[in-house]
Amino acid sequence: MAEVEKALHDHAASPSPYVTEAARHLFAAGGKRFRPLLVLLAAEAGADPGSADVLTAACVVEITHVGSLYHDDVMDEASLRRGADSANSRWDNHVAILTGDWLFAKSSELTAQLGADAVTIQAATFTRLVEGQILEGVEPDGDPLQHYLDVVAGKTGSLIATSARYGARFSGTTPEVEEALTAYGEIVGSAFQLSDDILDIASDSDESGKTPGTDLREGVPTLPVLMALASTDPADARLRELLRADLTDDALHAEALGLLRQHPALEQARAYVIARAQEAKALLAILPEGPVRTALEDFADVVAVRSS
């Protein structure tokens, strides 16, 4: 990961100091580096986990992800990202959008070094990612919960699935292992976002570093909220009313957050995410028992029950 961090810093360099500063801005703010870490973990299943292509692939997925954050902050009109000023706040929307585009171009350059198959994989991944972002702002045509799960699979699951695929492919695993780890990454990727949903409701800000109920205040539908809204119990009428209301008012927000924390939907959401992690772990049966399989199993568990 130290090598990945250095490579990311180097790749986010331009002949223009201004572009370099803008491109490195969110990298410098930190982050979990969840996607490159999964590339490296999946690569341990192959014969050549130290391959230069594995390192390049780890950079590809993180640069793609960070590029999407620049665009996310513009769409969300966010002023902070990872505790630092967002790019659109520090500069303006035009700079943020174009910096995101510049990072996408950089990830494409690196992907080209990995060969034609990687270019095809990256293009399909990016298609799913952007479609997920588009659908996030579209009214559901059918079951709202399924619509949301489809959005999560596109926005988050797709790139994390590709992270696992790249690690497997460029370390020399068999096609069967590559497909199993890709499916594992898809599930773990969605679980990662869904565990964020639970943290938004259940977390203590001192423990998680997040402000509880941020998505709730902004009217963003999340897994516990959608599960609560699906309840037909008359006792939940007040909660359903609040969840459909404007929760920018502090008193209403506090009431809704308190009711949701006590509602069975929160435990249902936790159980759903843990079950998904178990599905992901079952796919690892293709790997021999040992430290690689154990690490990937632990990775799925940490995603399902993380506190930050």
Q: pLDDT, tens digit, for every residue of 246-265?
A: 999 999 999 999 999 999 99
Which residues is 81 bridged to in the sheet?
84
Assess whether 150 and 205 both reside in one domain. no
33 and 164 part of one domain: yes
Give the Cβ contact number of residue 239 at 10 Å.
22
Q: Say if residues 40 and 49 touch (Cβ distance below 8 Å).
A: yes
Which residues are CB-neighbours of 146 under 8 A, at least 6 positions away? 140
Tokens of 18: 């201004």
CA–CA distance, 288 with 296 (Å, rounded to integer): 12
User: pLDDT tens digit string along 84-122?
Assistant: 777 777 777 888 889 889 999 999 999 999 999 999 999
User: Lowest mean pLDDT: which of 31-35, 210-214, 257-261?
Assistant: 210-214
Confidence band, pLDDT 50/70/90 cuts, at residue 80 = low
Task: Compute the distance between CA of residue 35 and CA of residue 25 in angstroms, rounded to an integer.
Answer: 19
Task: Let me know if 32 is exposed, middle or buried by CB neighbors in 10 A (0-12, 13-18, 19+).
Answer: exposed
Are 134 and 252 in a shared domain? Answer: no
Helices (H), the chain: 2-11, 17-28, 34-43, 52-76, 87-90, 93-113, 116-136, 144-152, 158-171, 175-202, 205-208, 214-217, 223-229, 237-243, 250-262, 264-282, 291-305
Do 11 and 149 fall into the same domain?
yes
pLDDT tens for each residue of 129-157: 999 999 988 889 889 999 999 999 999 99
Tally of CB atoms within 10 A around 163: 32
Residue where one domain finishes, among candidates 112, 143, 173: 173
Whether 17 and 42 map to the same domain: the answer is: yes
Phi, psi of 81 (to 5 degrees): -145, 120
How many domains does the chain fold into?
A: 2
- The CA distance from 157 to 196, in Å, is 13
CATH number at residue 306: 1.10.600.10
Task: Note down the domain range covering 84.
Answer: 1-173
Q: Which of 173, 197, 229 is the last residue of a domain?
A: 173
- Do 272 and 184 lie in a common domain? yes
Q: Do 238 and 120 sit in the same domain of this protein?
A: no
Instruction: Identify whether residues 160 and 186 lie together within a single domain.
Output: no
**With pLDDT > 90 as the criterion, what percentage of the chain qualifies?**
72
If asked whether residues 153 and 220 sit together in one domain, one would say no
pLDDT value of position 72:
77
Task: Give CA angle at 153 (147, 157), nearest 5°.
Answer: 165
Are both 164 and 219 inside the same structural domain? no
Which residues, 6 or more positions from 23, have their beta carbon under 8 angstroms from its beta carbon? 12, 13, 14, 99, 102, 103, 106
Is pLDDT larger for residue 87 or for residue 24? 24
Residues 188, 288 within the same domain: yes
Domain final position from 111, 139, 173: 173
Q: How far is CA 158 from the centre of its chain?
A: 9
Clarify whether residues 186 and 120 are in a common domain.
no
When pLDDT is averaged across residues 210-228 and rounded to a whole number, the result is 85
